[in-house]
């Protein structure tokens, strides 16, 4: 069985994007952090996005700028299989991407029951919130960034029920980021 994981950055005040849906505040490119993200990208998996995150990622990772700034990560992002959940997109153009327009929770349940690499949500706050509500996420990898945004969107915005988590591991980085890995408590 596959697992469904989340990898997301959040600010000290709990936002994954600011009031303008920007997350550039989460990109600190020092050597230690770059090595961690490149190593994490090598883990692979099938990337899972909502429409907005897909469009942002597809607009950056296939570009020469991404290849220059983060060559290892760019290569993996472009090679990995990707799934986009969207009711409004009619097509996807980024290599190795599949569009699913209906029954996100049912599609995720089916994929989790199959053999294959784990599924990894990056960004996509509404997807995280909906799949958390359905109790379909197996692991939350959260990067706490030392910045307060004042306004923005919570990763769990719209959840109706409390979600209790257990800390499995953590790591502090020189740039101030703190990596936190949680599993849901049943």
DSSP per position, 8-44? EEEETTSEEEETTS--GGG----HHHHHHHHHHHHT-
Q: Structural domain of residue 120, as residue ranges?
A: 4-8+27-173
- Confidence (pLDDT) at 58: 96
- Nearest residue to 163 (alpha-carbon basis) of 143, 138, 127: 138
8 A C-beta contact, residue 7 and residue 128:
no
Residue 151 included in any domain: yes
70 three-state secondary structure: coil
The CATH number covering residue 56 comes to 3.40.430.10
Give residue for tokens 């936190």.
Answer: 180
Q: Is residue 65 part of a domain?
A: yes
| Helix or strand run (H / E) with residue 167 | strand 165-172
Per-residue model confidence (pLDDT) at position 72: 82
Q: Which residues of the chain have pLDDT under 70?
A: 41-43
Assess contact for 79 and 45: CB atoms under 8 A: no
In this predicted structure, what is the pLDDT of residue 61?
A: 94
pLDDT at residue 41 in the model: 64
In a domain, 184, yes or no: no
Per the structure, how many domains does the chain have?
1
Question: Using CA atoms, how far apart are residues 4 and 128, in angstroms rounded to an integer?
Answer: 10
22 assigned to some structural domain: no
Predicted confidence at residue 42, as pLDDT, reads 64
The DSSP bridge pattern shows strands 165-172 and 178-184 to be antiparallel
In a domain, 21, yes or no: no
Per-residue pLDDT of 145-168, as tens digits, reads 999 999 999 999 989 999 999 999
With CA atoms as reference, report the closest residue to 138 among 156, 112, 117.
112
Given its phi and psi angles, is residue 123 left (phi above 0), alpha (psi -120 to 50 degrees) or beta?
Answer: left
What does pTM read for this prediction? 0.91
Q: How is 120-140 classified by DSSP, letter by letter?
A: EEES-HHHHHHHHHTT---EE
In whole angstroms, give the CA distance from residue 110 to residue 112: 5
- Backbone phi and psi for residue 9, each to the nearest 5 degrees, phi listed first: -95, 145
Q: What's the farthest any 2 CA atoms get from each other in the chain?
A: 44
Q: Is residue 46 part of a domain?
A: yes
């Amino acid at each position: 069985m596959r697992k469904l994981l989340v990898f997301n950055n959040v600010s000290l005040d709990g936002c994954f994007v600011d009031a303008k849906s920007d997350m550039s505040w989460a990109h600190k490119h020092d050597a230690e952090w770059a090595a961690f993200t490149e190593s994490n990208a090598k883990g692979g998996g099938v990337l899972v996005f909502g429409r907005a995150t897909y469009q942002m990622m597809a607009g950056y990772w296939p570009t020469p700028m991404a290849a220059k700034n983060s060559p290892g990560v760019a290569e993996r992002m472009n090679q990995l299989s990707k799934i986009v959940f969207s009711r409004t997109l009619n097509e996807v153009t980024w290599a190795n991407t599949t569009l699913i327009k209906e029954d996100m929770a049912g599609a995720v349940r089916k994929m989790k029951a199959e053999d294959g690499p784990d599924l990894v949500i990056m960004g996509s706050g509404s997807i995280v919130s909906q799949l958390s509500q359905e109790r379909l996420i197996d692991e939350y990898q959260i990067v706490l960034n030392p910045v307060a945004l004042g306004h923005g969107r919570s990763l769990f915005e719209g959840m109706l029920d409390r979600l209790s988590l257990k800390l499995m591991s953590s790591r502090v980085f020189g740039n101030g980021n703190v990596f936190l890995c949680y599993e849901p408590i049943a």
